[in-house]
Amino acid sequence: MNSSIPVYIGDYAVDKLMEYCQEKGFKKFVLVCDTNTYPVLGQAVEGRLQGAGWDVITVRLTGEEIIADAHYLLDVFLKLDRQDRLFLAVGSGTLTDITRFTSFVTKASFVSIPTAASVDGFTSIGAPLVMRGIKKTAISQAPIALFANLSTLCEAPPLLTASGYGDLLGKLLSIADWQLGHVLWGERFDPQIAVEFYQSMSKSIRYAPQIGRRQCDGIEQLMLGLIESGFYMLAFGNSNPASGAEHHCSHFLEMKLLKEGRRAVFHGVKVGVVSVSTAGWYARVRGLSRADAARMLEATPFLSAETQVQNIHQTFGSIADEVIADQKEWIYMTPEALAALKRRVVDQWDVVQEIAARVPPPEEVVELLRASGAPTRYDEIGFSREEFLQALDYGHYLRNRFSINRLRLLLGIPSL
């Protein structure tokens, strides 16, 4: 996909950054990094900028686990002065999101300097933030340029790279969910973006073996795919094309870890594991005829609003009221609206089948994840069966979108 944002992936990223800043006249900067990314690349960037006589404020975030929450956002804000500065995000997903949001709020631009091919959000406009225990995407801004040092990406921790692959693979599921939401729930959709996005992601996921072997050609293709994903979100205006049931359930698991003070699991790793389950749901749908679907829709009771509200309070605790407020359209669906939705499912079953046919079977998802070095099971990433089932059953409440998760609930397809 073409974009007006300059992108460089290669062995001279810092040189290209310097040339870009010289050309554009940038001489004052805020460099955002952490204790891991500073020695990897941040120090080199800082040194080159200062060596040119330019003014640099370096914000080196500390802590065992950096989270895009109010604490770390404030750490950045407190370092700022009243000068107009270009923000530089030296790091992977979380540092980019922190920089994206803080630069946006202060009416500054930012440049992305990834240190790992770990997420798809480098070139998007959304900043996933954790606020009051809920992970929500704040629409802010894309970078004005991206410079990725290929050798740095290739030397990144293998699990970070595997996380990027899991996030990328999940796009084949999210694109299907996006179209499903359009057909069955009336959500906004762009068929041209969907076709181009699917083709781009289908090409990139074929590099799983090279990525697993940490070959630079595979990691370069992974980074290109992740950047492309961000561009498609940018073109559409939100994250719908790239965030379906696999992301919603991943967010649930992430919020659980934060709430319980447990060690984080990389975003894309969780997305990959959940994608095995969501691909399984699509496989079940592919095996159903229209008559099967009609029979299952008729036989499956829709949970009453009272029961759903009770379950949400038990599951989400202090943030339950906010979740319920966001999900009123689903929770309080009238009998007439529910009947109309079920009729749409039956009437559009041929289209649903076409959507499902483009989703790889769960066995292929597992094979690709393993080839890339990514986990495929919930117990490999520290979750019990009960915790994972809870994410599958309640993750859909975190976004007011229709997905395969909601279709399988209507049909009575079990979680696992």
State pLDDT tens for residues 185-212: 999 999 999 999 999 999 999 999 999 9
Query: Is the CB of residue 164 less than 8 Å from the CB of residue 222?
Result: yes
Which whole number is the average pLDDT over 21-50? 98
Q: 124: pLDDT confidence band, cut at 50, 70 and 90?
A: confident
Q: 347: pLDDT confidence band, cut at 50, 70 and 90?
A: very high
User: How many Å apart are CA 95 and CA 85, to the nearest integer?
Assistant: 17
Provide the token pair at 66.
């950096």
Residue at 354: amino acid letter: E
> CATH number of the domain at 7-156, out of 3.40.50.1970, 1.10.3080.10, 3.30.360.10, 1.10.150.120?
3.40.50.1970
The pLDDT of residue 126 is 85
Measure CA 181 to chain center. 18
Residue ranges, comma separated, of all CATH 3.40.50.1970 domains in the chain are 7-156
The pLDDT of residue 2 is 56
User: How many Å apart are CA 115 and CA 14, to the nearest integer?
Assistant: 12
Query: Is the CB of residue 373 less than 8 Å from the CB of residue 161?
Result: yes
Structure confidence by residue, pLDDT tens digits, 105-122? 999 999 999 999 999 889
Cα separations (Å) of 301 from 57, 119, 180, 335, 401?
Answer: 58, 38, 21, 11, 20
Query: Is the CB of residue 62 less than 8 Å from the CB of residue 35?
Result: yes
The pLDDT of residue 368 is 98
Query: At a CB cut-off of 8 Å and minimum separation 6, what does 257 contact?
Result: 263, 264, 265
DSSP 8-state symbol, 288 = -
Residue at 382: amino acid letter: G
3-state secondary structure of 6: coil
The length of the chain, given as a count of residues: 416
Query: Is the CB of residue 169 less than 8 Å from the CB of residue 205?
Result: yes
Query: Is the CB of residue 399 less than 8 Å from the CB of residue 334?
Result: no
Residue 265 exposed, middle or buried by CB count within 10 Å (0-12, 13-18, 19+): buried
Query: At a CB cut-off of 8 Å and minimum separation 6, what does 125 contact?
Result: 139, 140, 141, 142, 233, 234, 237, 238
The pLDDT of residue 137 is 84
The pLDDT of residue 4 is 76
The pLDDT of residue 135 is 80
Angle at 159 between CA 154 and CA 164, to 5 degrees: 75
Strands (E), 49-203: 55-61, 86-91, 110-114, 126-131, 134-139, 145-149
| In the chain, % of residues over pLDDT 90 | 91
Does residue 279 register a pLDDT over 90? yes
Does residue 133 register a pLDDT over 80? no
Does residue 91 register a pLDDT over 90? yes
Residue 378's nearest CA partner among 250, 284, 262 is 250
Query: At a CB cut-off of 8 Å and minimum separation 6, what does 103 contact?
Result: 30, 87, 109, 110, 140, 141
Q: How many CA atoms lie within 13 A of 274 on its CB side?
A: 39
User: How many Å apart are CA 14 and CA 232, to the nearest integer?
Assistant: 26
The pLDDT of residue 134 is 79
Query: Is the CB of residue 207 less than 8 Å from the CB of residue 222?
Result: yes
Structure confidence by residue, pLDDT tens digits, 207-238? 999 999 999 999 999 999 999 998 998 889 88
Query: At a CB cut-off of 8 Å and minimum separation 6, what does 361 contact?
Result: 279, 283
3-state secondary structure of 155: coil
The pLDDT of residue 196 is 95
Fold of 161-411: Dehydroquinate synthase-like, alpha domain (1.20.1090)
The pLDDT of residue 31 is 98
Query: Is the CB of residue 241 less than 8 Å from the CB of residue 197?
Result: yes
Which whole number is the average pLDDT over 338-348? 98
The enclosing H or E element of 167 equals helix 158-169
The pLDDT of residue 74 is 96
The pLDDT of residue 131 is 83
User: How many Å apart are CA 117 and CA 92, to the nearest integer?
Assistant: 7
Query: Is the CB of residue 391 less than 8 Å from the CB of residue 256?
Result: yes
Query: At a CB cut-off of 8 Å and minimum separation 6, what does 120 contact?
Result: 164, 167, 168, 171, 225, 226, 227, 229, 230, 233, 242
Among all chains, which residue has been given the structure tokens 């202090």?
Answer: 318
Does residue 274 register a pLDDT over 80? yes
